[in-house]
Amino acid sequence: MPTQYRRKGRVVSCQECGKGYHDRHDIPRVANTCNICGGHTFVRREDDADAEHMVNVRLENYRNRTMGVITYYKATNGLVTRLDATRSISEVGDTVAETIKRIGR
Ligand SMILES: [Zn+2]
């Protein structure tokens, strides 16, 4: 399940410039080297310790608040589109942009 897959990753930041990375979805282009400043020291972000709790809170909010909106839009005008968000950030961004262009009015 994609949600559980994303939960397992770790979030770190470059100690020099603060650029954040995810160990599965946003990794440095060169291993252990920051894309921005070339730094080699990464620290676990403070919020990572609470990440699983926060993900659970966000998922609960999604179920309680967003699902109803999705159901409404599916039923009324067909503007809801599914996409594979397990791909890279740039691939997902491209798909979102293409989808908006395709359904734009
Ligand atoms: Zn950096």
The CA 7 to ligand 1 mean position distance, Å, reads 24
> Chunked in runs of 10, what are the mean pLDDT values of the chain (105 residues)?
54 90 89 96 74 82 89 81 91 93 77
DSSP assignment of the chain equals -HHHHHHT--EEEETTT--EEETTTB--SBTTB-TTT----EEE-GGGGGHHHHHHHHHHHIIIIIHHHHHHHHHHT-------TTS-HHHHHHHHHHHHHHH--
What pLDDT is recorded for position 24? Answer: 81
The CA 33 to ligand 1 mean position distance, Å, reads 8
What pLDDT is recorded for position 8? Answer: 61
Domain spans, the chain: 9-44
What pLDDT is recorded for position 12? Answer: 87
